[in-house]
Amino acid sequence: MRESKLQDKFGPIDKYCKHGKDVIAIKKKISIFVIILMSIIIFIVLLSVFQYYKSFYGLKGEIMLMEGEAPSFPVLIYDIKNNKKYEIRNIFYDVQYDANNGNNLIAVINNEIYKINEYQRTDFANRQLLYTGENVRYPKFVPDKNAISFTQKDKLTYYDLDAKKSIVIAKLLLPGYDWLDSDTVLFTEVDSSGSLNIMAYKISNNKTYVFKKDASYPSLSYNKKFLAYQRGNVRNVVYIEEINGSHRKSVRVNSIGLLPYKPSSDGNYLIGAMYYAGHADVVIINVTNNKIRKIFPGIFPSVLDWKE
């Protein structure tokens, strides 16, 4: 009624307020645009979160690592399925999973190598002494044999637990070695020209040969189906290839280097330490899309292992 009287007195309101209507229309359009834009942003964020978790959906097993070089540093365990972490201090160091039974461990305690039976992540009381020797480090069980290996004063050594006899395989100038199978161990050697090569030593015939030229730091998946290694002096790239197949991929990280590392049993993931100037983070990398999941920030492990 009031609007009608105003129109009678002053004429149609549109005559004086058409610009106001334009402003209202523009505001409505802006509001709709903002709503659409925010919806797109939310969708992109949710899609990104979904893709991130999808990238690590296939993870399984358990990861164990040693934070430092002495027993005073903790052993850290990550239960992937339950997303739980455990910390054990002042017990042992250079811990690795038993290649023949993932419920057992091998580790060094006061210059002695022990098998730790049926560990329960917090209980390591059930131990069996395997070997005693000065400066023993980095023990491993030989797959499918009652034998172990370790380094002693930089010499890679094989020890038959039944015969109680040892064989010195090679002098290790660089850390890190792994068993390809029950008869073959891989390690890094510096040749006369200064190049790094992955060497293979066979227990059965006491022979050493070049397994892969211009390569270093071999690391096998727990099931021995995938090999991870580096080339030349490039330390921030790791190659993963199938031992008996054509599967070959690589991951590159934006850090000084990535070491130590270990591939998953399906070759789709790599666990490793990304190190920078002054610190390092233990991460899991999706080999397909290079997505990175940080699991132990601020830690530079001396050893790490992954059973599945």
Return the structure tokens found at 140. Answer: 């491993």
User: Which pTM value belongs to this model?
Assistant: 0.81
Are the C-beta atoms of residues 233 and 193 closer than 8 Å to each other?
no
Q: How far is CA 248 from the centre of its chain?
A: 17
Q: What is the DSSP letter of 220?
A: E
* Residue type at position 98: D
Longest Cα–Cα distance in the chain: 117
Strand 184-190 relative to strand 101-109, pairing: unpaired
- CA 220 from centre of chain: 12
Per DSSP, 142 falls in state P
Q: Is 226 helix (H, G, I), strand (E, B) or coil?
A: strand
Q: Hey, how many other C-beta atoms are within 10 angstroms of the C-beta on 283?
A: 21
Q: Give per-residue pLDDT as tens, 59-85.
A: 999 999 988 766 678 889 999 989 999
Share of the chain above pLDDT 70, in %: 82
Neighbours of 235 (CB within 10 A): 17
**Residue 149: which region, alpha, beta or left (left: phi > 0; alpha: psi -120 to 50)?**
beta
Q: How many CB atoms lie within 10 A of CB 240?
A: 24
Instruction: Identify the pLDDT of residue 31.
Output: 75
Question: Contact 116/122 with Cβ under 8 angstroms?
Answer: no
**Cβ contact 95:141 at 8 Å:** no
Span 109-134, pLDDT tens digits: 889 999 999 887 776 778 999 999 99
pLDDT exceeds cutoff 80 at 250: yes
